Amino acid sequence: MTAQLNNEKKAAAMAAVKLIQDGQVVGLGTGTTAEFVIHEIALRGLRISGVPTSVRTARLAVTLGIPLADINSVEEIDITIDGADEFTPQLHLLKGGGGAFLREKIVAEKTRREVIIADSSKLVEQLGAFRLPIETIPFARGFVQRQLEKLGAACILREGFVTDEGNQVLDADFGLIADPAALAQELDHITGLVAHGLFIDLAAEVIMGKGEDVVHFTRPGY
C-alpha cells in the first residue's frame, strides 16, 4: 500500500465518521480501511452501539472501548461504514478480500444507510479484476466449484482460511463482469454457496479519497 492510498483511505474514513450521530446503531466494517473508521469513532468519543461484521472487528472495537450490540437484538442499523475491493460508478461492489463478506452483507441488508469508503484505486468501470470471493460450506465445496466453472470461472481455494462461520472461501476469476446483477442472481441459486462478494443495490453512497480531495458517489435513485 502506498502512502498516498493510505492517506486517501484515512481521508475517506474521517469524512464518513462525520455522518454518525450519538445514539445510533452503527455497523462496523472489516478490513484495513474500516479500521480507520473504528479508530476515528473512538477518538471522537462518539456514543454509539456498534454491530461488528467480524470477530476481528469486534475485538478491535472492544479494545478501543466501543460498546457492541448483538445484531439479533437490534431491529435496524442506522448506518454502516465499510470498505470494498472494487466499486463502479453505479455503486456495484466487489467485496470479500478480508473474508468477512457474509456478515458484511447481512449487516448491509439490515442497514438504512450503507456507506462505503475507499481509496482511488478501487474505482473501476467493470468489476472483476479482483477475484470474486465465494463462501461455501466445506461439504459442498467441490460441487460449488464445479457450478462456478460451468459459469466460466477459474477457482482457487483460499488455503488455510476459515470464515467466522466455519466455512471455506473459493476465489473465483470470472474475468471482467459485464452484468454483476445477473451473475449475482445465478450465484444465489447454487446450493451450498453461502455468500458471494457481489453487493448489488446495497451501498447508498461511496466516499472516495482522491489525492488531497474527497469525492462522493451516490447510488442513482437513492
Q: Is 104 a catalytic residue?
A: yes
C-alpha distance across the termini of the chain, in Å = 32
Beta bridge partners of 168: 136
Count the residues in the chain: 222
The three-state secondary structure class of 183 is: helix
Q: For residues 67, 9, 97 and 75, what is the CA-based torsion angle, rounded to 10 degrees?
A: 30
Is 109 within 8 Å of 77 (Cβ atoms)? no
The alpha carbon dihedral of 138, 142, 146, 149 has a sign of: positive
Backbone angles phi, psi at 203, to 5 degrees: -80, 125
Is 52 within 8 Å of 98 (Cβ atoms)? no
Residue 211 makes CB contacts below 8 A (sequence gap 6+) with: 4, 8, 120
Q: For residues 41, 30, 62 and 112, what is the CA-based torsion angle, rounded to 10 degrees?
A: 60
Q: Which is catalytic among the residues 8, 35, 86, 104?
A: 104
Residue type, 208: M
What amino acid positions are annotated as catalytic residues?
104
